[in-house]
Amino acid sequence: MKSFLLKCTAFIVLLLLVLVGIRSFIIQQKQNPERYRLNTSIENIVLGHSQPECGLNDSLLSHTKNLSQGGEAYFYTYAKLKKLIEVNPTIRTVYLSFSNNQLEKKMDDWTFDDEFINDKYPAYFFAMDSEEKKVLWKANPKAVLQSEQLLLKNNMVDLVKYRGKIRPETYWGDYLYLEREKTDSLIRVNYIETMVKERGKGISEINLTYLKKIVQWCKDENIQLIFYRTPVHPILRSTYDEKAFDSIRKKHFSTIPFLDCIDFPLSNQEFGDFDHLNYKGARKFSTFFNHVVQRKITSEIEIKKIISSEGQPEKNISE
């Protein structure tokens, strides 16, 4: 037994040494600030989840980079934001998505569920401080352990695949060109009922906490933070509890400018589904958003006026 245990220990120690060596190499490579450096002309960044990821085509936005990523909770956005600002002093304004579904209870799962930790931990590990890693470890240690394997695997593959020339958008989000045009078929099958059912009751405290942290951090770093809401289909919009949304915003974030574009007029053909724009919608909305960014508009009333002047949505939106 003694010899067996000794052999096993030696084998495992050697294995761990190799793994620690690989891990240290990856960390050293990925912590290089150059990997997070954006083009020096970038003054604004757009952050958020899948809605801005599909809705804002940054090739149409001057001096602006869209680093939104599907399924991203504020917990991960917070880590990403800190690292980006640290490495890119030219960034002066942060446009952060603040939408109804980001306050829904399901965002707790989007922060701590296995699937999301496995997806986000390997990407944001290099931006998280020890406090944030502790939060994840405490919430779901099993998923963090699984993600350690993915951390090595994914990053090794990235380093080999991109030969060290990794850009932030490779793993931290980018504009997503969405081709689909499923809105009409979703209306036909009454998919909205499923969406409403999946929401869960109550709000996500963890997402709210980290949103407050983002606000405080931007304030401390003297970064202009602006909330925005991308367009969603009128059918989905009608199911939102706007009163609750407004009350949270006014209670916690009354000082943050809010560019509410939820009712920006678009046709069914410009939506990929109820809450994501396809490339046609993104083209239209990004052109509009570019004007807003360039004119540095921060007034809620002004944005509403501009949207109204954009005209009514096309007739084929059926409810």
Q: Where along the sequence are the contacts to another protein (CB under 8 A)? A: 1, 3-4, 7-8, 11, 14-15, 18, 142, 145-146, 149, 152-153, 156-157
Smallest separation (angstroms) from another protein to the CB of 147: 11
User: What contacts 24+ positions apart, CB below 8 Å, involve 169-173?
Assistant: 169/65, 169/67, 171/123, 172/67, 172/69, 172/80, 172/84, 172/123, 172/124, 173/47, 173/53, 173/66, 173/67, 173/68, 173/69, 173/70, 173/72, 173/80
Question: Minimum distance between the CB of residue 101 and another protein, rounded to whole angstroms?
Answer: 26
Handedness of CA 161, 115, 135, 206 (dihedral sign): positive
d(CA 134, CA 175): 31
Tell the smallest beta-carbon distance from residue 146 to another protein (Å). 6
d(CA 10, CA 166): 36
Token code pair at residue 247: 């009350």
Q: Which is nearer to another protein, 153 or 219 (CB)?
A: 153
Cβ closest to another protein, residue 59 vs residue 149: 149
> Measured from the CB atom, is 145 or 189 closer to another protein?
145
For residue 7, the minimal CB distance to another protein (Å) is 7
Supply the minimum distance, in Å, between the C-beta of residue 180 and another protein. Answer: 16
Q: How far is the CB of 14 from another protein (least distance, A)?
A: 8
Q: Which is nearer to another protein, 115 or 242 (CB)?
A: 115
- Reported residue count of the chain is 319
- Cβ proximity to another protein: between 15 and 20 the closer is 15
Using CA atoms, how far residue 319 sits from 7, 194, 229, in Å, is 69, 16, 21
Instruction: Give the strands of the sheet with 64-66, arranged side by side.
Output: 64-66, 44-47, 93-97, 224-229, 258-260
Q: Of 153 and 250, which has the nearer Cβ to another protein?
A: 153
Q: Taking the complex as a whole, how short is the minimal distance between the CB of residue 245 and another protein, in angstroms?
A: 36
Q: Which is nearer to another protein, 142 or 315 (CB)?
A: 142
Shortest distance, position 135 Cβ to another protein, whole Å: 20
Query: Quick one: 145 or 196, whose CB is closer to another protein?
Result: 145
d(CA 217, CA 144): 26
∠ CA 129-122-124 to the nearest 5 degrees? Answer: 40
Structure tokens at 20: 């620690």
Query: Pick from 189, 197, 198, 186: which is nearest to 233 by CA?
Result: 186
